[in-house]
Structure 1
Amino acid sequence: MSILFHAYPLARQALFAMDPEAAHEATLSALQRAYDCSLTRGFMRERALAPTKLMGLSLRNPVGLAAGLDKNGAHIDAMGNLGFGFIEVGTVTPRAQPGNPKPRMFRIPEAQALINRLGFNNLGLDTFLANVKKSTWRQHGGILGLNIGKNADTPIERAADDYLIGLEGVYPHADYITVNISSPNTKNLRALQGEHELDLLLGQLKNKRESLADLHGKRVPLVVKIAPDLTVEEIDTIAEVLPKHGIDGVIATNTTLSREAVAGMKHAEEAGGLSGAPLHEKSLEVIKRLRQRLNPDFAIIGVGGIMSGHQAVEKIQAGANAVQLYTGLIYRGPALVGECVKEIRGYKR
């Protein structure tokens, strides 16, 4: 493992003394500088192998980067150098938007958790695509997912318009495309998970994908990212609607609105989505239910609260085909990637 990975606990002390969002930007900048320098790039390179098939795609390993960490797709190659089998960037909206007012990210260290209410802050589709085109990750065999959403000022009844713009824009440049309808930080967005709303949205996306597949001569997998705060009945409904529209996979799950696991802790009452360790069990339950209701070949990507290799394996045992990391990276650092790959590889033998 890279010697730089072992140094993360020391860096974390300094980063945790900073505002969480400022620390996030500082970390991305530092990773990018290290990648841009040929000497340090070699020190931080990780090549953890556990070949996996997902939605017809060949992954080096089943451990991916979750969307949200690199919203503008500006650090794809640097993140790929950390050993991920696949990278997902975004969420991107058609037009640039600042997101919610700051401060909007809060750590709860005693629970290894994070609350954010960023609100799809991003530089817009044009800048996003320019960054994606500059990356070489895909050219070297990396798998890239592009995550699309709607602008905050687009009325919810016109949400499909934004998703169709996003789908058309990212289609030629993605190995798979994620439809994010589960962020708690865009007003009414989660309403799109309702049976009627989801059916209408996915019907339009299905038709658009068919025309784009003809135009570009390739069929790009579509996945939907869902919330952890769904009832069993709502999960069952989603499991019925997704295959009906030819959706290839589901990401379970986004952040939670529940505060049960962090009640009484500093920042626990801040508005936004809770991620990190308290989310692990909630996402496991969603994954288990989805696997019971979906065809065995339907792809499930498990995300939420993976803080160790053992927890990555638990996601696989629950029914996930692959996993994604985000908050675990903040608390554990990049060594978590290789640890998860190693544990999953050992479990699958």
Structure 2
Amino acid sequence: MVYQQLTRRTLFKLGGGDPEIAHTRTMAGLARLAKVRPAVAVLRRYFGTKDTTSVFGVDFPGVVGLAAGMDKDGHALRAWPALGFGFVEVGTVTRHAQPGNPKPRLFRLTGSDAVINRMGFNNAGADALAERLRATGPIGVPLGISIGKSKVTPVDEAVEDYRHSLRALRDHGDYFAINVSSPNTPGLRGLQDKDALDVLVGELRRESTKPLLVKIAPDLTDDTIAEVLQVCADHSVDGIVATNTTLSRDGLAAADVATGAEAGGLSGRPLADRARAVVSFVHRESGLPVIGVGGIFSADDALRMLDAGASLVQLYTGFIYQGPPLVRRINRAVAGR
């Protein structure tokens, strides 16, 4: 409650209320915090958990992870475990450094507890991330790396783009998420089609023995998800991340309808039911480990996602609105089951 009444209100006013400026300044503050080892240690004792779970051969000291998109370039890696996260996913990173889409490209829908983004994979590139991870070293929790296609790369050359990123980063990640589901890079979602995905996943599977996961969109039909799962089975993919942001605008509060017309992917509370349904379908149809993400705003939301079949959960928009106390509440609820 203190976070919502004081901290969030202050953060949301940064940069004149511009969400991207607020995000940039928050990340800078967390990057500074990450360098203060005594503070990190104190915070980790308060927010952390000691409940270890093993998923796709990796030991996670907690089921709550930070979703990709929050710390794309890994600037604040040591801060996240201090705030209770049991794993961290950086990226989405691309072969080529890119500025992303024109601003403004990030929008809060506060009446709906949602966010729309059309960031466009703004990042410093895979090679730069590899250098940063090499300098940072182990962060005390598993590190996932989300890889995607550069905007300048034609779709028919996507395989080499992903392969370059995986080769550059394979020594630094504990698992890799193949992002073929962002709505903000032209042509990217077409890589979820069975034939294209078959080639991409097959080539990446040959490149690394590290766990590979495929991140899917919530807007896919059950039949299309089933085709994705068949490709994953054919190439021994280790898991699914469900889900990415949605193009749907269902469930928005009336006050947010105008902002909801902005292009981009929507995340947050309106996505909760669909994300949970996709997790349930994937779990039922494939038995693959699933990282459930979408609309988790409470400990109960997280428990329902786990009950639907997720092995782990990730936070993004819920963390923006609820802050570190949400991570602690989920960790305590899971420990108390």
- 5 Å-filtered alignment, 1:36-75, equals 36-38=35-37, 40-45=39-44, 46-75=47-76
Give 1:285's match in structure 2, choosing from 259, 265, 277. 277
Quote the RMSD (CA, aligned, Å). Answer: 1.5
**Are 2:90 and 1:94 aligned?**
no
CA gap of 1:38–1:290, structure 2 versus 1, over 3 A, is closer
Cα distance in 1 for residues equivalent to 2:196 and 2:260: 31
Aligned residue number for residue 150 of structure 2:
151
Moved more, 336-345 or 17-26: 336-345
Aligned residue number for residue 124 of structure 1:
125
The residue matched to 2:132 in structure 1 has which SS? helix
**Are 2:323 and 1:333 aligned?**
yes
Q: Is the 8 A contact 2:174 2:210 kept in 1?
A: yes
Aligned residue number for residue 10 of structure 2:
14
Post-superposition offset of 1:38: 4.3
Instruction: Report the TM-score when normalising by structure 1.
Output: 0.91
Post-superposition offset of 1:290: 0.7
Cα distance in 2 for residues equivalent to 1:31 and 1:193: 34
Structure 1 residues 55-93: Cα deviation after superposition (integer angstroms, max 9, x where no partner): 111111111110110111111111221111111001111
Post-superposition offset of 1:43: 4.5
Post-superposition offset of 1:37: 3.0
Q: Is the 8 A contact 2:83 2:327 kept in 1?
A: yes
The residue matched to 1:205 in structure 2 has which SS? helix
Moved more, 113-122 or 68-77: 68-77
Identity %: 44
**Are 2:273 and 1:260 aligned?**
no
**Are 2:177 and 1:183 aligned?**
no
Post-superposition offset of 1:35: 3.0
Aligned residue number for residue 173 of structure 2:
174
CA gap of 1:293–1:38, structure 2 versus 1, over 3 A, is closer
Cα distance in 2 for residues equivalent to 1:130 and 1:9: 39
Task: Give 1:301's aligned amino acid.
Answer: I
Cα distance in 1 for residues equivalent to 2:171 and 2:323: 32
Structure 1 residues 247-305: Cα deviation after superposition (integer angstroms, max 9, x where no partner): 1010000000001112642411000000010111110111111111103xx21110011
Cα distance in 2 for residues equivalent to 1:25 and 1:195: 37
Post-superposition offset of 1:236: 1.1
CA gap of 1:38–1:204, structure 2 versus 1, over 3 A, is closer
Cα distance in 2 for residues equivalent to 1:207 and 1:161: 13
The residue matched to 2:123 in structure 1 has which SS? coil
Aligned residue number for residue 78 of structure 1:
79
Q: Is the 8 A contact 2:68 2:91 kept in 1?
A: yes
Give 1:313's match in structure 2, choosing from 303, 314, 320. 303
Q: Is the 8 A contact 1:9 1:332 kept in 2?
A: no
Structure 1 residues 94-136: Cα deviation after superposition (integer angstroms, max 9, x where no partner): 1110000000000000100000000000011121111111224
The residue matched to 2:116 in structure 1 has which SS? strand
Q: Is the 8 A contact 1:53 1:59 kept in 2?
A: yes
Aligned residue number for residue 243 of structure 1:
233
Task: Give 1:186's aligned amino acid.
Answer: T
The residue matched to 2:260 in structure 1 has which SS? coil
Q: Note the residue ranges of structure 1 that are not aligned, 5 or more in a row.
A: 210-218
Q: Is the 8 A contact 1:76 1:132 kept in 2?
A: no
Cα distance in 1 for residues equivalent to 2:39 and 2:4: 15
The residue matched to 1:310 in structure 2 has which SS? helix
Cα distance in 2 for residues equivalent to 1:322 and 1:102: 33
Q: Is the 8 A contact 2:182 2:245 kept in 1?
A: yes
Cα distance in 1 for residues equivalent to 2:253 and 2:203: 41
Structure 1 residues 215-253: Cα deviation after superposition (integer angstroms, max 9, x where no partner): xxxx31011110000101011111111011011010000
CA gap of 1:81–1:196, structure 2 versus 1, over 3 A, is same
The residue matched to 1:145 in structure 2 has which SS? strand
Cα distance in 2 for residues equivalent to 1:7 and 1:246: 43
Task: Give 2:205's aligned amino acid.
Answer: K
Post-superposition offset of 1:39: 5.0
Aligned residue number for residue 212 of structure 1:
none
The residue matched to 1:278 in structure 2 has which SS? helix
Cα distance in 1 for residues equivalent to 2:229 and 2:183: 21
**Are 2:257 and 1:274 aligned?**
no
